[in-house]
Every structure is written in C-alpha cells, then in structure tokens.
Structure 1
Amino acid sequence: MPHVVILYTGNLEAQADMGGLCRKLADTMLTVRAEDGAQVFPTGGTRVFAYPAPHHAVADGGAAGMAAGGDGDYGFVYLNLRMGRGRSEAVKKSAGDALLACARAHLQPLFEQRHLGLTVQVDEAPGQVYDAKHSNLHPLFAKH
C-alpha cells in the first residue's frame, strides 16, 4: 500500500492517456509529505492501476448533453486512494488534494471537449484482518 485504482468509462480510452495519468499520479503520490517533511508513501509500495469499464451508464445517457449542443457521450473517471492507517487528517486531505489537482490537469483537454465527471476518494484501511506482503522492490529505494 498505498494504491490508487482508477475506474473510467471505456468511451475515454482513446483520448485520456490513462497510462500517462497513472505515471503522473504515482509521481504525485511520491511528493506528498507529512507534517515533519517525511515522504508519506513509500516509493516501492506506490502503485496506480487503471481499468476501463466497457459497459457503463452515466447520468441521463446523454440527453442533457445533446440538448446543450454536445454529443451526449458522457465520461467519468473515479480515483480511489487506499492507504494504511496511521496518517493524520491533514496528510489524507493533502494527498487527496494533490491527486485531484494532478488528475484535473491531465484531463483538462478532455473537460474542454466533452462532458466529464471526476471523483477522487481517499480510503483508509479499517481494521485489517490480514495484510501480508512479499516484495523485492522496497530494497531498491532504501536509503544507504
């Protein structure tokens, strides 16, 4: 952990550069700092995944968009940051604000071309029952 999972309507696939958004979000996560200046999310544990939804229904199906002169082909992007417990409310808000700003900047060209919704949600893992990890990534980023 932490993980960001992006779910998005499949009609954005050709225009959104989700691979680029994944990289930008991961880089943004690595810039988030705690009150003492420490990096909040470990480099080796930061992951971002994006999944298109080939089947979707958004709002009224496009009627209002067509009435407003658009094509009515709505899009939607949902980002969910899931992190382990123990971070302050300020850090959680800072992480959410940073991810929202990053996603808004990346998707701005789409907002100018089509009707689009964007949601960022930050969740904290409540009462984990089991949390096992096996990785050889973390040693790559250990301070020497």
Structure 2
Amino acid sequence: MPHFTMDYSANLDRTVDFDALCRVVHAEVLKTGLFEVGAVRVRAIRCEAYAIADLLAENAFIDMSFRIGEGRSEDDKRRTGEAIFQAVTKHLDTLFQTPHFALTLEIREIDPALSWKKNAIHPRLRKKNS
C-alpha cells in the first residue's frame, strides 16, 4: 500500500494529461515520508458511462480514492489528504474556471486481516537503497 485510484469521466481525455496527473499524485504521496516508494501505486481509470448532476455534456468529474494500510495517525492522514488535494487542484486549475467540474478525494484505511500482498518490487528497491 498505498493505492491511489482516480476514476474520471471520459470527456476529460481532451483536457487532462492523466499520466502527468498520476506523477503529481505520486510525488505528493512520497513527499509525506509515510510510504515506501516500492508500495506506491497511482492509476487513472476512464469511465465511459456516467451521469453527472444536471446531465450537461460539459459536466466532468475526477473521484480520487486513496487506500492505505493502518498505522498512520489521523493528523498524518489529514495532512496527506490536504497535500494531495491541493496539488491536484493546482494542477487542474483551469477546470475550476468552468461551472462543470467536480473533484473528490477519500482516504480509506485497509483492514490488515482482510488484505493479502506479495511484492517483488520492495526487495529490489530496498537492496538498491542500502
């Protein structure tokens, strides 16, 4: 962990560089110092079918979900969420200049008793950094 997912309305394809946005989020996650680089996953998922608000074709959304393992304080989670939300908001500034865009972020803690992981990236990066 952490896994950061952005579901977005397909009509944003022509205005948002999602590769760049994923890298913005990735950098902010690492800046917190709370997560190992080998654990960070950021992805954007295009939603073809959606119905937003009053159904205007211009309406668009990005819904961000950040799933993290347990062990961080409420303050750490809040500061992390605020930093990510601020960086994404800044990156998408032009979208907020129209009355057709909605951005959301939710952080969820994963129950370790119900989460299984196997990661071959961690050993490589840990060895490289030692």
**TM score, norm. by length of structure 2:** 0.91
Q: Alignment identity in percent?
A: 30
- Secondary structure in 1 matching 2:104: strand
Task: Give runs of ≥4 in structure 1 deviating > 4 Å.
Answer: none
Corresponding letter in the other structure for 1:22: C
User: 2:95 and 2:36 mapped to 1: Cα distance?
Assistant: 31
- CA distance in 1 between counterparts of 2:98 and 2:54 reads 19
User: Secondary structure of 2:5's match?
Assistant: strand
Partner amino acid, structure 1, of 2:85? L
1:73 Cα offset (Å): 1.0
1:115 aligns with 2:100: yes
Whole-Å Cα distance in 1 between the matches of residues 25 and 15 of structure 2?
A: 17
Aligned length: 129
Unaligned runs of 5+ in 2: none
Matches within 5 A, 1:101-112: 101-112=86-97
AA aligned to 1:41 is F
Q: What are structure 1's unaligned runs of at least 5 residues? A: 33-38, 63-71
Alignment correspondent of 1:35: none
1:48 aligns with 42
2:83 is matched with 98
Structure of greater Rg: 1
Q: Which has the higher helix share?
A: 2
Partner of 2:15: 15
Q: Say which SS state the counterpart of residue 59 (structure 1) adopts.
A: coil
